[in-house]
């Protein structure tokens, strides 16, 4: 009789699911208000018209003004890739530029000749 120890891999799975960097990005995407949606606009991923949902949560990718997706559809995609599923434009958020420390403006005072 040999008993094989069963190793628990839950810890690893937890680590993987915590790897959620893109989540912040998706929540920062441009939301499209329902009033701006038309009946013929569908989600390219599930192909369901946005307006089928009484409370559509639609986001626009920055690559194209007509690249609209259900938040629920694009979110899992963006966890795997950083490209638009339609045109494969890389959507990686640009690194925020750290504003340079303001250089003290020397207020040059001109000594007016015509004093
Ligand atoms: Zn969808
Ligand atoms: Zn696109």
Query: Which residue ranges make up each domain of the chain?
Result: 15-80
31 CA → ligand 1 middle, Å: 14
Pick the CATH number of 15-80 from 3.30.40.10, 3.40.1530.20, 3.40.190.10, 2.102.10.10: 3.30.40.10
User: Which residues, chain by chain, have CB under 5 Å from ion ligand 1?
Assistant: 43, 45-46, 70, 73
The CB density around residue 80, as the number of other CB atoms within 10 Å, is 8
pLDDT above 90 for 45: yes
Express each pLDDT in 5-38 by its tens digit: 555 566 555 555 544 555 677 778 899 999 999 9
Which ligand lies nearest to the CA atom of residue 47 in the structure?
1
pLDDT above 50 for 75: yes
What is the pLDDT, as a whole number, of residue 20? 52
pLDDT above 90 for 43: yes
Q: Which of 45-54, 90-99, 100-109 has the highest mean pLDDT?
A: 45-54
Which ligand lies nearest to the CA atom of residue 82 in the structure?
2
Across residues 70-78, what is the average pLDDT?
94
**Cα dihedral sign, 37-41-45-47:** positive
Look at 94 and 19; give whichever has higher pLDDT.
Answer: 94
75 CA → ligand 1 middle, Å: 10
- Do residues 29 and 75 make contact, with C-beta atoms less than 8 angstroms apart? no
pLDDT above 90 for 52: yes
User: Which residue, among 79, 72, 23, 14, has the nearest Cα to 43 in the 3D structure?
Assistant: 72
27 CA → ligand 1 middle, Å: 16
pTM (predicted TM-score): 0.62
């Amino acid at each position: 009789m040999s008993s094989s120890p069963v190793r628990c891999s839950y810890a690893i799975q937890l680590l993987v699911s915590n790897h959620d960097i893109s989540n912040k990005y998706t929540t920062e995407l441009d939301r499209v208000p329902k009033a701006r949606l038309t009946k013929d606009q569908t989600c390219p991923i599930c192909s369901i018209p946005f307006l089928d949902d009484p409370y559509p949560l639609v986001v626009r990718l920055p690559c194209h003004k007509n690249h609209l997706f259900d938040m629920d559809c694009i979110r899992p995609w963006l966890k795997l890739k950083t490209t638009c599923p339609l045109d494969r434009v890389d959507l990686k958020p640009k690194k925020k530029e750290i504003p340079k420390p303001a250089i003290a403006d020397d207020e040059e005072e001109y000594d007016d000749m015509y004093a």
